[in-house]
Structure 1
């Protein structure tokens, strides 16, 4: 970042953040049009951070900003004079900053000053406002629920119109992937197509939500946000046994646990009165961070690192803010001071933990979990009082005298557990563990900027009270952040595109009224996540065709204004699960220890002497959520498709297109074996014995619809070529069919099976197969 050497400086940038409108035909909106520009351009030198603030000027606060702005008086405003000047000593941005200010940007700021330079609090720090949907026009044949009225209003302002409704084959495939992460079966497609009831789609949604596959699919983004893994991370990356917490998440989502309860139990389940076994397990959310077990590590250094991780994860997952900047200094863009960061830190600083982990296994505190725990009734659950193991189990290792905690066996799960006497908390200068400012002991407190409590409500004093503060109806962030991530999961992009950052550097909401409407609906529904999901899925907005005209792509390439349905490449988890499903290989076992599917046998040799020991039998074909996750070497199949590495909290993964993805789908052992399994189904389950009928079934299994005549012709011709190749090279057919551990049906001629396997692989690599549209 450029330095700010002058007494009054602005380093203004070329463009506004994505989503900000500069259309002069619209009313100016400070939070949408001006704040993003000031944040990106000016807050580094004239924002919340005292250490880098120049001339005492803050442009994030109205009172200070008005010292250089004369509302309504463009010529009398120092801000305008500076951005308009050609004098190198006066001009802002300075010539040596390497930046210039476009005429459009200067005109925007001048217009804002001329219209009174109205300031607003940052939009996400104001509690969600009750808002009514726009009135429905008599000519509106699009809107089927309130969501559509918000969307249509914004769409029309952008000069766009809705797309036609997706056909039923497209719609069932889309919603099956969105709710279960699996493709529909031909039977499901046929049932839906023949159900002429007006409630047919709602009935389909209910059936998918009732499936245990729902919780497995919905848990994946939560595990990524919670940085869940099967190892500790860092250089040693030792084993841990935390799958019981993962299974708790799946079960909670399948039971439709209210979101306020869902997050309360994960933040502070151990502190609830008469906490049950399940509530204790839920608190393992706070222990999913990495744990260092390297010899020579300084325990306090890594204990502090654990607490920092909890604070940063709390900020991203529940507040949608990048508060980690405040560990070392006041936040440069958002009103979170370094002191406020460590006051928040104090809520998570009292866990009875040792900074360095054991050589293998779970690090205290942990609890014993009976194998039958998922089957226990709530009453039985309460009869098993968890007794967390504390640090009194610490022992010395051989050689270096370093104290280490006693490792927990596979029958345990790591949980949160408070010390009897709270630790003192101080600001850590420059964020260093060994530089506490002991002149100023801190008490727990939440950042004032987004604290909506009235003066009579006491400050939360522990993690449980912090969780209850988070779910207060007037909290400005919790509900907004939650509904935005639901929207992101269905549409590929949140109403706030930067779902990890609702602060000044984040993208303003594309549909702010809709965001608030959904947030209020979530709170009013007693935090029922499925209520919000149904509302979105039932909307005409969601049910639009994803086909896009050239005009729409040019006008709105990212589909911000939602004039077409979502079209997104499936994530790696869903691609693998789809292959297992359509091939008939998928194992539907729920929960239990993580499975180790196919991976190169020496994949771990680069970081340790541990050998990757592949599972056998049905464990090879479990859903991807159960795949063993080693942080230093995550499953390559998932990583090639942009899965989060699970080292830190991630709530928005990037989507890339690389040659490795095509190579994975064509050559990965699992996908080749799945193609063999799909081919076997095509041959044995088809209504006819001819290749055309078999290809038709394969297309239905892979794409969810019957192929067109040209599509079938191309596939049939390809199959003929494959057949000729294997007839001339029968050994190649046997070699292909030997890939994978599952046994093939020997009644199928090898050459026939191999040719259809290659045809099935072609089907599995179609753009339509790997895309949700």
Structure 2
């Protein structure tokens, strides 16, 4: 063992990985200690030695070799006291209770020593005699720091008090009061309100992803002069716009890892064919303002909650998307991404060992896997389509209620520990009730081919085949097949009602057997006729080939004849059997209709998990959701690590605000539209994007939201507006995914273009499009090829040509009117005086006289310049 390996082993021991007891050292406590002191923790005390001493560091195998020092022992004893008092022995509380104690009896409190950088458990190390003034300042600063709102993401959300602020008139709702309190604390002067044009474009792009039209801009500018609620009215209209579901659907599809089918030829490696049904469900649910909690429940367990509702079953496309051809990878993905997307914690990190930063044991990883162990994926028919290869609903169902989950030693799938099967469960430290109850399923869930829509489609298909058969003189055989199908449906209904042995049932069964024998006989006769015709044709083909004396043709003809003779022999045998059967005595042993049959019950594990997840007392679900929503409105989240709220993540900039938003989301019945309304109508959202130099010095990253940071449009929105602004966009909602190679020519929105591994829209990806693997938060880069794509894309050429023709027609080629309309159409604002003058000069520079009308090419060049303007791809 080399030095590094020894040191690593020692650190594992120091952090208590081998000791699961809550009173002993462990990674979660270590992280909690660091978080408690935050920026006030000296670097030299970010160490195991704060609480432990090493007697035999080289060969340490347990805490006996790394015992607690006096300070660590105080913490341990305090934990014992709290446990006896049935209180949570969290590190924060213990450190607070022991802050004034003096563990090593050196005359300085534990808090003073830690702040100064000396070990509180070592009496040989203490602040020097000149430290009094520094300690006084440090203690005061730290006391003020700890008086701020405590961020406890793993505790249930308690709605915080809305802070009082000096400039109460500025605040339109509580969001502003939380933000303004930060301004006052940091000495920041907030920006003024954005201009009406900038604000209107901002909220349009934010809520529906489309520019306001020139007419909508003019109407708003006029309306706001007389209607103080003009902006709020716009917000209401946009939230009710069909494009809202598409815009925010794409955001959530990022978080939930939407991916169309990815495979080679007919192979299915990831996701599922027709997964677009899930995408349509997302859009429709958002437009209907279905609660965020209900959406999560349906995505995780619609097959257990509403097993006979095929519209709702589309939601389990979330689970179908997680499909992977390798089962262990499939289970890893669903645990990893479900925990990160919905809970903001990295449960996947506990697959191989106890979590290094959070209170998640290795066993709990497998308990969460067990929630999903029983589920599989199938594709059910949709109305009007019998072939699921052409269309169908990919959905989840419990395939095996007896599927077992084993803990893998060190996470190695080749080393399952089979002494005990792992039951389903959730991380204990998050609290809540996880109670599993099996779910009985209706007949149409276990036998989906029994649905009335499927039966109608089968009958319709059979009648169509019968009509086609008339022309081929197969009418009798086809009619008998239709009669068999109708008789099968009839007897299925009798059996479903419990009638299996009555005289009526016996009569129906005898009739069905008679019809099946008749149909088999007629088909056998027709098959023999067809086989005879083929044999004769094959014989003639061979004779023709032999006459031409071409060896390769003769060989091929012989093979055809041999195959035809075999088919003829088989047809003869089948006909003899059918004739024999038709003369036999009738019985009730009919042949049931062939159809897929699935289990009649489901484990209820996923439904139990979904209900635990969406309980208002769950500490993470609402917080994580609101962090994602805030991110997409402001370009930066409150918790910077959106999928990691745990010890390895970064703390929030505004913890009280996030808790208030989470509590408000639950209070509003998880309505996302109401939360959008609250955010975009706030004064915080309405601020301009510019501010003072002093603010830049204090808060260069705008963490305290003293202005509205500019955001670059996502690639999908850039593409959509290139099509929409000239009036070329097809507003149709939903439907199958469109081949990604058609992105330059299709006039459908980008959300409907195929998105999968090796099936990406290049234009969108250039503008930091979503990763297929995971995309909890998109990157935002500035790259030269983005400008090149805008300048040279066929989308841009088509947009400039179409918009130029449209504006020339509207303005009759009048220069000033054309310039005004071009700016309003593309940049959603009027040009200023300098821009108007510059554009006029651009259009007339080739002519000595301003009376000469510019050419269409010149107008188109101006439009091209505006589409390539930075303001077009920027949400200000």
TM range (shorter): 0.7 to 0.9
CA drift at 1:417: 0.4
The one-character-per-residue Cα deviations of 1:445-481 (angstroms, maximum 9, x if unpaired) are 110111234xxx7478610011011111111011111
Counterpart for residue 439 of structure 1:
419
Kept in 1: contact 2:40–2:115 (CA 8 A): no
**Higher percent of residues as helix:** 2
Q: 1:525 to 1:117 in 2, by over 3 A?
A: closer
Secondary structure of the structure 2 residue equivalent to 1:542: helix
Kept in 1: contact 2:405–2:423 (CA 8 A): yes
- CA separation in 1, counterparts of 2:681 and 2:44? 41
Secondary structure of the structure 2 residue equivalent to 1:661: helix
CA drift at 1:553: 2.2
Question: Are 1:306 and 2:330 matched, yes or no?
Answer: yes
Question: Are 1:283 and 2:286 matched, yes or no?
Answer: no
Kept in 2: contact 1:267–1:285 (CA 8 A): yes
Counterpart for residue 746 of structure 2:
620
Q: Map residues 653-668 of structure 1 onto 2, 5 A cutoff.
A: 653-668=778-793
Kept in 2: contact 1:44–1:332 (CA 8 A): no
Question: Are 1:497 and 2:530 matched, yes or no?
Answer: no
Question: Are 1:322 and 2:325 matched, yes or no?
Answer: no
1:370 to 366, 383, 399: 383
Kept in 2: contact 1:594–1:626 (CA 8 A): yes
656-665 or 175-184: bigger deviation: 656-665
Question: Are 1:130 and 2:233 matched, yes or no?
Answer: no
Question: Are 1:670 and 2:795 matched, yes or no?
Answer: yes
The structure number with the bigger radius of gyration is: 2
Counterpart for residue 254 of structure 1:
287
Counterpart for residue 412 of structure 1:
392
Counterpart for residue 154 of structure 1:
182
RMSD: 4.1
Question: Are 1:555 and 2:698 matched, yes or no?
Answer: yes
Q: 1:542 to 1:80 in 2, by over 3 A?
A: closer
- CA separation in 2, counterparts of 1:508 and 1:424? 38
Secondary structure of the structure 1 residue equivalent to 2:673: helix
Q: 1:51 to 1:769 in 2, by over 3 A?
A: farther
The one-character-per-residue Cα deviations of 1:624-649 (angstroms, maximum 9, x if unpaired) are 1111113134212111111222123x
427-436 or 29-38: bigger deviation: 29-38
Kept in 2: contact 1:143–1:149 (CA 8 A): yes
Q: 1:45 to 1:331 in 2, by over 3 A?
A: farther
CA drift at 1:147: 1.2
Q: Map residues 412-561 of structure 1 onto 2, 5 A cutoff.
A: 412-453=392-433, 458=435, 462-561=605-704
Q: 1:36 to 1:127 in 2, by over 3 A?
A: farther
- CA separation in 2, counterparts of 1:758 and 1:193? 29
CA drift at 1:176: 0.2
CA drift at 1:130: 1.9
Counterpart for residue 258 of structure 2:
228
Q: Map residues 44-83 of structure 1 onto 2, 5 A cutoff.
A: 55=66, 63=79, 71-72=99-100, 73=102, 80=114
CA drift at 1:83: 5.5
The one-character-per-residue Cα deviations of 1:2-34 (angstroms, maximum 9, x if unpaired) are 76459679999xxxxxxxxxxxxxxxx988662
Secondary structure of the structure 2 residue equivalent to 1:541: helix
Question: Are 1:245 and 2:258 matched, yes or no?
Answer: no
Q: 1:141 to 1:414 in 2, by over 3 A?
A: same
- CA separation in 2, counterparts of 1:463 and 1:112? 50
Kept in 1: contact 2:44–2:117 (CA 8 A): no
Counterpart for residue 445 of structure 2:
none
The one-character-per-residue Cα deviations of 1:331-369 (angstroms, maximum 9, x if unpaired) are 1111112111110111111123xxxxxxxxxxx412112
Q: 1:410 to 1:220 in 2, by over 3 A?
A: same
Counterpart for residue 755 of structure 2:
629
Counterpart for residue 484 of structure 2:
none
Secondary structure of the structure 2 residue equivalent to 1:244: helix
CA drift at 1:84: 4.8
- CA separation in 2, counterparts of 1:56 and 1:721? 84
Q: 1:251 to 1:371 in 2, by over 3 A?
A: farther
The one-character-per-residue Cα deviations of 1:416-437 (angstroms, maximum 9, x if unpaired) are 1002423111112232322211
Counterpart for residue 542 of structure 2:
none
Kept in 2: contact 1:31–1:122 (CA 8 A): no
The one-character-per-residue Cα deviations of 1:210-237 (angstroms, maximum 9, x if unpaired) are 1111101010011112221222269977
- Count of equivalent residues: 637
Gaps of 5+ in 2: 16-31, 51-59, 80-88, 126-130, 438-603
Gaps of 5+ in 1: 13-28, 92-102, 293-301, 353-363, 373-386, 388-406, 600-613, 725-748
2:227 to 194, 197, 200: 197
Kept in 1: contact 2:42–2:115 (CA 8 A): no
The one-character-per-residue Cα deviations of 1:668-714 (angstroms, maximum 9, x if unpaired) are 2212221222222222222x423332122111101111101211222
Kept in 1: contact 2:278–2:314 (CA 8 A): yes
2:367 to 343, 347, 351: 343
Counterpart for residue 523 of structure 2:
none
- CA separation in 1, counterparts of 2:309 and 2:616? 26
475-484 or 502-511: bigger deviation: 502-511
Kept in 2: contact 1:471–1:478 (CA 8 A): yes
Kept in 2: contact 1:11–1:41 (CA 8 A): no
Kept in 2: contact 1:596–1:620 (CA 8 A): no
- CA separation in 1, counterparts of 2:802 and 2:841? 21
- CA separation in 1, counterparts of 2:252 and 2:37? 34
- CA separation in 2, counterparts of 1:701 and 1:31? 52
1:179 to 207, 219, 242: 207
Q: 1:765 to 1:36 in 2, by over 3 A?
A: same
Secondary structure of the structure 2 residue equivalent to 1:417: strand
Q: 1:109 to 1:661 in 2, by over 3 A?
A: farther
Kept in 2: contact 1:75–1:81 (CA 8 A): no
Counterpart for residue 646 of structure 1:
772
Counterpart for residue 816 of structure 2:
692
Counterpart for residue 37 of structure 2:
34
TM-score, structure 1 as length reference: 0.74
Kept in 1: contact 2:259–2:755 (CA 8 A): yes
Counterpart for residue 442 of structure 2:
none
Q: Map residues 68-147 of structure 1 onto 2, 5 A cutoff.
A: 71-72=99-100, 73=102, 80=114, 84=118, 111=139, 123-137=152-166, 139-147=167-175
TM-score, structure 2 as length reference: 0.66
Q: 1:722 to 1:695 in 2, by over 3 A?
A: farther
CA drift at 1:134: 1.6
- CA separation in 2, counterparts of 1:339 and 1:41? 34
CA drift at 1:666: 1.0
Kept in 1: contact 2:367–2:423 (CA 8 A): yes
